[in-house]
Amino acid sequence: MRLDEVDKQITSSDLEALETFADRIFGKVGIDVEFTRHFLDRVNDERNGEQITASELTRMFKQEYKRWGKPIAQMGPDAEAVMKDLATDINMPFALRWDRDNNELDLIVKTVMRKKDFKTSNKEFPIESIEEESEIHKLNKEDPNNPEVMIQGFGSLMLNQIEASVVRKLEELTKMAERGDFEQIQSLLNRDVMQTMIQSIVDTKAELQSIRRKGGPKSRGIAKESLYDLVTADIKIDEGMFDKLKVLTRKKNYAGAAESLHKMLQRKYKENGGKWRHSFSYYVAKIASGWQSVERSALNDYYLENYESAFITESGGVGKIVPGVNTTIDVGPDEIKKQAKKFGNAVDKDGLPKNTFR
């Protein structure tokens, strides 16, 4: 907990930023996070003893996803459970509900409280430590935006040195990929050094913004940055370059998972008479959870690149290809018929299965 947050109540804008962050990380397992109206009242309740802070909740969601993300998603709709932080005594009861309109699983955080030995009859997902990865060790008067940062397990470095190191490492990984040295890439990624350094950059910039908002002599010269960019920067990097590298280093796993996904889609398409009961991301998450070292977002991209299932849309159901609107060199007006034929099905002139009630 940061000193400037001890007595600061959480506002609606704080909660919106937290929801954005939670959506980004839990979205990897097909979950959308929502807070009830009661949550904002209870998070600032005097019965908590000490004020529950935004940084405590942010780190709690981060650790819950890291430790329990896939098991929570596998519970499925209508399940109820509690996230528990044993280090801070914060408890968050939640429910999982299927959102028919958006074809996704909603994680609805019902309430929150700081209470030691919280009792519940529902399943618990405990985390034991906050696991601080980095912190500002010393502010820099000459360059306020470049403080000295203490990284657990690495020591003390200037922020610009960490950023330069990440750039060099990314360039090295790209060169290794071009040479086909994927075993070395896998070894480097498994050490988790890159993720730790990227996270230290994100955490440091977030802490600088906290100092800037507080005001006073220490805030002078700190540049204003978007909170949204700060809390999502690590996720954007992970979903881009890292997903591609993970596929390259685990080709057999992703090839096998993609084949399993393809067979499942074929089976479900026939079983449901051409109507999709869930979104494409739901089926991807389902398959990814059963394969070692296979992540949902990377499998999603790998499947679409290799199986060209143009008629499966993210919102579920069957898309319609219109000449001149969404056609490409690879996707012509008859693409739906071609793809549907691979599944052993026929469609009408509008691209809809003939045996559906749409």
In a shared domain, residues 13 and 46: yes
In a shared domain, residues 213 and 143: yes
Q: Decide if 11 is inside a domain.
A: yes
Q: Is the distance from CB of 262 to CB of 307 less than 8 angstroms?
A: yes
Q: What is the pLDDT of residues 43-62, one digit of tens each?
A: 999 999 888 988 889 889 98
Q: Decide if 186 is inside a domain.
A: yes
In a shared domain, residues 62 and 119: yes
In a shared domain, residues 12 and 102: yes
In a shared domain, residues 149 and 197: yes
Confidence tier at 237 by pLDDT (50, 70, 90): very low
Higher pLDDT, 73 or 342: 73
Average pLDDT over residues 137-160: 83
How many domains does the structure of the chain reveal? 3
In a shared domain, residues 184 and 279: no
In a shared domain, residues 154 and 173: yes
Q: Decide if 61 is inside a domain.
A: yes
Q: Decide if 358 is inside a domain.
A: no
Which of 127, 157, 174 is where one domain is finished?
127
Strand partners, 125: 83
Which of 219, 249, 279 is where one domain is finished?
249
Q: What is the pLDDT of residues 177-217, one digit of tens each?
A: 888 888 777 766 655 567 677 777 877 887 888 788 788 88
In a shared domain, residues 98 and 209: no
* Residue-number span of the structural domain to which 163 is assigned: 134-249
